[in-house]
Amino acid sequence: MTQKKPCRCLLAKSGQEDMARLVADYLSTLPEEQKVPDDIYRTRLVLCETCDALHNGTCALCGCYVEARAAKRGLGCPMTPPRWQAEKSGA
């Protein structure tokens, strides 16, 4: 039996619109000082979308939804070496 290859895409593109909305709602509750600026967020997500560890919106290395992980200033990519780095506090 052949297994379906996981989609190297974010939640909404992998058909998980409900989860994408929940993650977006969660991010809207985070204090701004805990989040990276929009340009860094987008750059991180582009790097995730070109990573073999991305499976249907989830990072296979850490188990996080990358749309949530990438938004947080203090979190970095779990790969060795990391594809993107944690940011220092913006406060």
Does the protein bind ligand SF4 through residue 51 (CB under 6 A)? yes
- Residue found under tokens 């560890």: 53
Of 11 and 48, the one with the shorter C-beta distance to ligand SF4 is: 48
Count of residues interacting with ligand SF4 (CB under 6 A): 13
Does the protein bind ligand SF4 through residue 77 (CB under 6 A)? yes
Q: Under 8 Å CB-to-CB from 3, ≥6 apart: which residues?
A: none
Does the protein bind ligand SF4 through residue 53 (CB under 6 A)? yes
**Burial call 10-48: b when 16+ CB within 10 Å, e when fewer:** bbbebebeebbeebeeebeeeeeeebbeeebbeebbebb
> Among 12, 35, 40, 78, which residue interacts with ligand SF4 (rule: CB under 6 A)?
78
Does the protein bind ligand SF4 through residue 47 (CB under 6 A)? yes
Give CA–CA dist 80/38, Å, rounded.
Answer: 25
Task: List interacting residues with ligand SF4 (CB under 6 A).
Answer: 47-48, 51, 53-54, 59, 61, 66, 69, 77-79, 83
